[in-house]
Structure 1
């Protein structure tokens, strides 16, 4: 780890490094690590619980520690890279992620896995936020928007590929192999950064404000009521989303007998629904008010949650009902999360980095907090998960219709139609 901090960096001249295809591809690779590290592992939850003598809630806590790490990594990684540059902290994060993934693969107990997953999430979030910062360093205006859309669009394939790859691994090998695969991907990312990513923030452009300056800016963005409303929209939607992620393997496999491969295909189909909904929402931007698109997603998510709750409480969550409601729920997230984040950022144009960091922090904390709560009922009931889905949809509506009500500030109206 320490040796990576002394990796030679190409000399910085007055000329800005080029935003090459290799650099953009590497950033896409960095943004894919979180969904891959989670979704490759989710199909194995029942097997992990059995082999490590752990309860469903304990296994889901490995999701919680990962998501808490992701939140802290994004919150801290940006300010630190503003001080120390992008390349060396990124290399150090990837090296540590490799070590944490190997520990997960070798773990003798669920407790060791929880700690290793925390480190894995911390370094993954750190790498993700630095990757986005590199793009912002090297692109402006319309080009920046295009590149970020490419990163988001191509990166959206990871939640589809992840569970399928995890299921294939379970069919031919052991669940621990999925963590060896993440370790191998981390090494590949480290090599890609060494080859394709220059230092994008030369010393004259760095600042010493660090976390203290971030805290001051954070207080300012949180004083904006509409920003907080959209924060609640996205945070609550993420909570409902990860209630599904944490419990769907038990609902579909343990309760309904679905095979790991069939579960992974279903998971991938739901992720595809969410991706398609997000692309449709992007096409509607400027034509349909963004708030209306979000509200449609909220109503759909609430309906799916209510039907799930009725099915779990009175009918034992039959397979067709669970599959249909999960698809509607996931597709609805594609209308809510990205649009809510866009409107939140538009509310604080004077602090774009801080607004983005706080948004990411809240989303991942919500994901990590909800995961173990969703499993409180054990492996044979979906009632806690359904209650969380309903609660998440209701809170998201409160954020949109109560906290974020009123006119849009003139500075943001042209950017993001509401």
Structure 2
């Protein structure tokens, strides 16, 4: 059974029905798969370093391995889902995620844990890339942006709940229990997808996944200056976000003395900011063009990035650091849905490949940003501030220099 795009798109401005709410929750859960798998074990990073007798920088490589695995998985699974439909790669990916999570839970060394995280990430990539492609299968224009904003309501729950759950798990068991919980979550989501998610891509809209055609499709997307500009802006912003994700656990607990539970609450508060700004974006898009909202989000993020750098370099205290951190992380709720919608707007026939490349740029840049944060050692938050500010400025520059309003947007504004 397939979903009828016209029927789904008609409901975009209406209150959630039971069926549509279920659809939002499923796609939201799939797209939150990666962030959940990252955020839940963040409070345990110092404990993991001690138990595995590994340096902080080595343990942080588990984040890099996961991000790189997400990138590779999306490159493969995106075009595959364009060819054979969304459901089969999604089910296979969720099963692989469960295997990787079990391997993480039993890993005896940091090196094996890093490898297991790569396996886990490859499976998680299916949820991320296919959820985003499914939205493009069913929506276009402002309706697509509104739905991406609606997904932020679910996506934002991951950074709110995951570190809190992770911190509570550490009260009862070790960091290995976190990966046991992720295994269970993967199994539940696999069952939900298998029984409740129809195929969103009808056969007549599928394209062959021959190696040569896939490469040509990616080359065409990389030559598309507009798509690449939006994708880079989004990816560089995610680099700033991942600098926060990888560095904040050590900075806030090691430098500023927060407990794992207090750190989880701070991390969750920033997640509330993502949810709130994402819902605001969904309400005002249509009154304001996506490009305008994206510009605002990127400018705010860049300014907040310099605030993080100033607070850490000038020792402005915990509150002085937390305020710009909150502003920067919250801006993702405006940047992500508008950048994704604008990047995918012209990619109806290759939504899986475009979604994959969009995700790859996000997570590859994030993977590059993660180890940079640890270069200054555990006693300072300055490297985190430098990376966050630098990537925020680069995101704004990529958007400003590589993109321009489409003809449709210009005509609409006129």
Output the TM-score relative to the length of structure 2.
0.86
Whether contact under 8 Å (1:105, 1:180) holds in the other structure is yes
Q: Which residue of 1 aligns with 2:119?
A: 119
Q: 206-215 vs 174-183, which deviates more?
A: 206-215
1:265 alignment partner in structure 2 = 265
Among 398, 407, 412, which residue is 1:410 paired with?
407
Would you say the 8 A contact 1:347–1:412 is kept in 2?
Answer: no
- Cα distance, 1:46 vs structure 2: 1.1
Whole-Å separation in 2 of the counterparts to 1:338 and 1:218:
22
Contact 1:240 1:392 (C-alpha < 8 Å) held by counterparts: yes
Q: How far apart, CA to CA, are the structure 1 residues paired with 2:232 and 2:80?
A: 27
For residue 327 of structure 1, report the CA deviation from its aligned partner.
0.9
Moved more, 101-110 or 82-91: 82-91
How far 1:255 sits from its partner (Å)? Answer: 0.9
Aligned CA distance change for structure 1 residues 210 and 42 (closer, same or farther; 3 Å): farther
In structure 1, the partner of 2:13 is: none
Give the equivalent residue in structure 2 for 1:391.
390
For 1:102, what is the secondary structure of its paired residue? helix
For residues 49-72 of structure 1, give each alpha carbon's deviation from its aligned partner in whole angstroms, at most 9, with x where no partner exists: 111112221111111111111122
**Match of residue 102 from structure 2:** 102
Q: 1:123-202, aligned counterparts within 5 Å?
A: 123-133=123-133, 139=138, 145=144, 150-199=150-199
Q: CA separation in 2, counterparts of 1:35 and 1:15? A: 27
CA deviation vs aligned residue, 1:80-105 (integer Å, no higher than 9, x gap): 13333433332222222111101111
**In 2, Cα distance between the equivalents of 1:142 and 1:291?**
12
Distance 1:220 1:27 in 2: 28
Contact 1:74 1:129 in 2 (8 A): yes
* Paired residues of 2:148 and 2:341 also in contact (CA < 8 A): no
Ranges in structure 2 where 5+ consecutive residues have no aligned partner: 9-18
Following TM superposition, by how much is the alpha carbon of 1:278 offset from its aligned partner in structure 2, in angstroms?
2.1
| TM-score normalised by length of structure 1 | 0.85
Query: What stretches of structure 1 of length at least 5 have no aligned partner?
Result: 1-11
Which residue number corresponds to residue 354 of structure 2? 355
Contact 1:349 1:412 in 2 (8 A): no
Distance 1:132 1:336 in 2: 15
Q: Quick one: distance in 2 between partners of 1:141 and 1:164?
A: 36
State how many pairs are aligned: 401
1:227 aligns with 2:227: yes
Residue 161 of structure 1 contacts residue 268 of structure 1 at CA under 8 Å; is this kept in 2? yes
- 1:242–1:173 Cα change, 3 Å: same
SS at match of 2:90: helix
CA displacement 1:348-396 (0-9 Å, x = unmatched): 5665443332111101111111111111112111121111112112211
Distance 1:285 1:131 in 2: 21
Does structure 2 conserve the Cα–Cα contact (< 8 Å) formed by 1:94 and 1:123? yes
Please give the root-mean-square deviation of Cα atoms over the aligned residues, in Å: 3.0
Conserved in 1, the CA contact under 8 Å of 2:29 and 2:154?
no
Q: Distance in 1 between matches of 2:295 and 2:202?
A: 43
2:297 corresponds to: 297
